[in-house]
Amino acid sequence: MRILYVVAEAAPFVKVGGLADVAYGLPRALRALGHDVRVILPRYRAINGAAYPLQALRPPFEVSVGLAGETRPVEVEVSEATGVPTYFIWDEYYFGRDQVYGYPDDPQRFIFFCRAVLAFLRHIDWRPEILHGNDWHTGFLFLWLATAGRRERFYRPIATVFTIHNMAYQGITGDALLAFGGIHEHVERLEVEPPGHINWLARGIAHADAINTVSPRYAQEILTPEFGFGLEPLLQRRADRLFGILNGIDPEAWDPRTDPALAARFDVETLERRSENKRAAQEAFGLPPRAEVPLFAFIGRLIEQKGVDMLLEAAEALFTRGVQVAILGTGMPEYEAAFAEWPSRFPGQAGVRLAFDEPLSRLLYGGADVFLMPSKFEPCGLGQMIAMRYGALPLVHAVGGLVDTVQDVAREDGTGFVFSSFSQEAFLAAVDRALALYRNPAAWRAAQRRAMARDFSWAASAQAYEALYRRAVAWHNP
């Protein structure tokens, strides 16, 4: 199948969150199944064109945008660095900025990107059978293909798949942006849209031939008010088109046998070597290098979704238990400030690095005993899978992809610690269960072995996407 994978970020070129890892892993796995998949994203200034040879595709072409008749010249570059042809859309005004997201005109930027994607297909005369868009940034494509695009023979046969990576980010704007995107006809308001507004995530959900989210559990959860962020009525209406497909991780990119960021490489037979990584991690976080003290790690964005509030509230009780905790990540300024106080409040027990540092994260995965992921909600989550592969046992809240990937050690096949109610008591009870198991080295080791043996590679998920694409095609051409 010819598949165009449209996304706002993709590793290794540019990464803000897990979306970028998916946009790297899934297309490669689809390619391995023999599909002609290509990735397209904006060419942000932050992308280092020297590190990944990018080739200009000439000549630039015009993209119409804004009020009728206005056009802007767009340049496209291509890279083969990942083994999947990856196209980059460049426009100085929209993408020549330091950050990927966070600008007041983000909706305009991504609508412009979508317009450029559509024009680009015409330009290279490559028509995908499937257009696979991700998150609200690509919502415009689905609305356009379902309205204006219907009248154009080139676009009409394209079936569409929309993947939701997170219901918390929806992209809600005034409906004047319809004209900005070149949609001049009347657009029916969706039940979840306030009058005069467009919800771009909802547009992907409403108009795609098939929809999925990144774990089976999250696909169920988002049908409820607790997790649907207001879009549950629309999701319920489209529930027959909604699926859950678990993300994978790239087993070569995340391999403790070969990872150069580790102080000591190891596998399931040489788990004792992890102690060298633990020691190096303790030193890197300014903690006393004590082998017998359990080392807990949190790696991720410091945002509400990740359960950061609870972690901060539980701090006293957590450190009273004699553990060490290493925090690695960046995020909301108030959370950063609160964590920044930990090392002085809990000297010798708390180590904090407010940074996005992948090599350091790898060392921590390879040296920590327990990996904390108390997320309030979690569409899939990648950290817990990487942790298991690196022999760190995850401690997780029973939501979304965390439920689908971690079983509690109360079960014979358990690989971690799972708590159900989102409360400090439940969290600390899980911590206590982790500490009890830690005092039993044989049982701990057995759990580590089971964790490391879990297969989270992309192969199975890629087959599930393949099946979803076939359904989308069938639905598109009834």
Give me the residues that bind ligand GLC (CB under 6 A), please: 17-19, 22, 165-166, 214, 247, 378-382, 401
- The length of the chain in residues reads 478
Nearest distance in Å: CB 380, ligand GLC: 3
Q: Which is nearer to ligand GLC, 234 or 380 (CB)?
A: 380
Q: Which is nearer to ligand GLC, 63 or 328 (CB)?
A: 328
Per-position b or e across 413-446, b if 16+ CB within 10 A of its CB: ebbbbbbeebeeebbbebbebbbebbeeeeebee
Where do the H-state alpha helices sit in 33-105? 92-95
Close Cβ partners of 86 (under 8 Å, ≥ 6 residues apart): 10, 13, 38, 39, 40, 41, 78, 79, 80
Nearest distance in Å: CB 15, ligand GLC: 11
Nearest distance in Å: CB 163, ligand GLC: 8
Q: Which is nearer to ligand GLC, 106 or 378 (CB)?
A: 378
Q: Which is nearer to ligand GLC, 22 or 63 (CB)?
A: 22
Q: Which is nearer to ligand GLC, 17 or 60 (CB)?
A: 17
Nearest distance in Å: CB 23, ligand GLC: 9
Close Cβ partners of 248 (under 8 Å, ≥ 6 residues apart): 25, 26, 29, 385, 456, 457, 458, 459, 460, 461, 462
Nearest distance in Å: CB 80, ligand GLC: 24
Q: Which two tokens stand for residue 189?
A: 């308001």
Nearest distance in Å: CB 373, ligand GLC: 10
Please compute Rg for the chain using Cα positions. 23
Question: d(Cα 41, Cα 12) in Å, to the nearest integer?
Answer: 12
Q: Which is nearer to ligand GLC, 90 or 335 (CB)?
A: 335
Nearest distance in Å: CB 434, ligand GLC: 22
Q: Which is nearer to ligand GLC, 65 or 311 (CB)?
A: 311
User: Is the distance from CB of 149 to CB of 118 less than 8 angstroms?
Assistant: yes
Find, among 176, 180, 205, 178, the residue nearest to 190 by Cα.
205
